[in-house]
Amino acid sequence: MHKKYCEICGKRPAEIEFIEIVNGIKHKRFLCRVCAENEANGIKLVLSDDIKVDSGLVCPECGTPLAYVKTSLKVGCPSCYNVFEGAIKDLLKKLQGSTSFAGMDDLKSSEEKDLIIIKHRLKKELERAVENEDFEKAAKLRDEINRINQKLKWLGLNPSE
């Protein structure tokens, strides 16, 4: 049987079996909902009526544990940025003093910056269109993205300054 009270606060009842992988070693702790959520740093925990195993501390895409991200400052795949968003924002704030992308350039070439932003928005729309099987829309979006790619290539080969 598990312990009655949360291992962190010792006040609230333990409701979650909290599994953490640190340097490849599995640690099991029994925590209350509040403390478990704090530990998970913004990752949604799946709760059920009974004690629940929580594996939210490992990126489902690549298997990188959050503990590894924190110690190495490295992530395993682009999805880690979504899965661990809260924790990564904290780390970036400490590391870089900021979490916001300042763009690749100054205002002189804002045209390119805009094109890149638009391109990435269109790509998200394209994904959605494909998911919804709206192929007509997807084809249009693909053409639009290709046009932007051409434009970016042209700008790259013919810098304006």
Partner 1 sequence: MAWFESFRVTPPWWQAQGKIVASSRARFVRNLEGKKFPERMESEEKKEVFREIFVSLKDTVAEFKEVEINTVLKKDFFTERHILNSESNVGSVLYTDHAEEETYLINDRDHLRFQVTMPGDALREVFSVARQRIRTMEGEYNFSYSDTFGYLTSSLTNTGTGFRLSVLMFIPGIFLARETEKILALLVKAPIVLRGFFGGRSEIKGNYIQISTKFTLGVGIEDSLRMLDEVVKALVETEKKSRDILIASARVELEDRVARSLAILESARIMSYDESLEHLSILKFAAQLGFEGVPDEKVLNRLIFWSSPVHLSSLENFEVKDSELDFKRAEFLRKWVRGEDGN
Look at residue 1 and give its three-state secondary structure: coil
CB nearer to partner 1: pick between 47 and 152: 152
Among 92, 130, 137, 142, binds partner 1 (CB under 8 A): 92
Contact between 61 and partner 1 per CB under 8 A:
yes
Specify whether the CB–CB gap between 80 and 65 falls below 8 A. no
Contact between 151 and partner 1 per CB under 8 A:
yes
Alpha-carbon 24 to chain mean position? 21
Q: Report the length, in residues, of the chain.
A: 161
Q: Using alpha carbons only, what angle is made at residue 14 by residues 10 and 16, rounded to the nearest 5 degrees?
A: 135
CB nearer to partner 1: pick between 82 and 132: 82
Contact set with partner 1 (CB under 8 A):
61-64, 69, 73-78, 81, 85, 88, 91-92, 95-106, 112, 116-117, 120, 123, 149-157, 159
